[in-house]
Amino acid sequence: MPFTAKSGKFNASIKPVTIGSGDKAATIGGENVLPFYSFDAEIANAPKVGIEVTDFGMEHEPECLKKYYDGCTTAADMVKKAVAFEGVDFISFRMEGGDPNGANKSTEDLMATLGEVIEAAGDMPLVICGSKNAERDAELLQKAAELAQGKNAIILAAREENYKTVGAAAGLAYNQIVGAESSVDINLAKQLNVLLTQLGVNASNVVMNVGSAAAGYGYEYVASTMQRIKAAALSQNDAQLQMPIITPVASEAWATKEASASEEDVPGWGDVESRGIDMEVETAAADLACGSNAVILKHPVSVATVSKLIKELV
């Protein structure tokens, strides 16, 4: 009896969102099949890979990263090198020093650094991330959206605590893309999208960070949340969940013991750089398989590896 394959193509699709402008603009989303199901329908916009730089420059980076950024000290120095690394589709700048429970850098200092990063990035698409402190980010991301006007950048992230300020600045006043961040829960992700669209932000200018974790660290919750979101968006045609997903991997993967413990402390684990790359690649690959449309990584080898994986599968 002949086998007749059944198409897994859906009538609904994920909204396409373009980051940046010009020849290097990157579009994510637009697919109407499950992740990497290119045998069911063409995936016009392959997932994208970004590389992360923070306002601390090389100061807080792993020792193994220094050889790739030889001669660099500042964030702008790093960006000038990073734009040429294999597989980099966009630059992600994280204002880590803005956390009031950390370095608590002034807004003026952070905006000065961001200005240098924007100039160094040139026409490479940008994702601008906050400090992970919702109250401080209301101020920082509002200023960042203004400073990056005309760049069509993703401002990551608007959260339930600050979405009015961040959403109004990024999505309305300065015509940027709003990154909506929720905490590994499909209902919270949908609720935040509803709030942003009710605020007046166009749904086609919203991307989601639905939460992240390193592989092995409660990752099953991330996986199930992404899969449920994609299923609702495609099979149930839920318009409030049809925004593409972007996932910051770097800060999660490199914070694990597996990626940071020295070879002296755990000699049986092997080379620390290889462990860090493995953790980052494994997490990113899982995110993409579960439905993420873009991942943010740190190590240039991780970026090149994941980029090659995407090209082989799409």
What pTM value is reported for the model? 0.97
pLDDT digits (tens, 9 = 90+) for 5-16: 777 899 999 999
Q: What is the mean pLDDT of the chain?
A: 97
What is the pLDDT confidence band of residue 3, given thresholds at 50, 70 and 90?
Answer: confident
pLDDT recorded at residue 4? 77
Counting residues of the chain whose pLDDT is more than 70, the rounded percentage is 100
| pLDDT attached to residue 6 | 76
Check pLDDT > 80 for residue 144: yes
Residue 235 pLDDT: 97
What DSSP string runs through the chain? ----PPP---SS-PPPEEES-GGG-EEE----SSTT-TTTS--SS--EEEEEEETTTTTTS-GGGGGGGTT--SHHHHHHHHTTSTT--EEEEE-GGG-TTTT---HHHHHHHHHHHHHHHTTS-EEEE--S-HHHHHHHHHHHHHHTTTS--EEEEE-TTTHHHHHIIIIIIS--EEEEE--S-HHHHHHHHHHHHHHT--GGGEEEE-----TTSSHHHHHHHHHHHHHHHHHS--GGG-S-BEEE-HHHHTTSHHHHS-TTT-GGG--HHHHHHHHHHHHHHHHHHHT-SEEEE--HHHHHHHHHHHHHH-
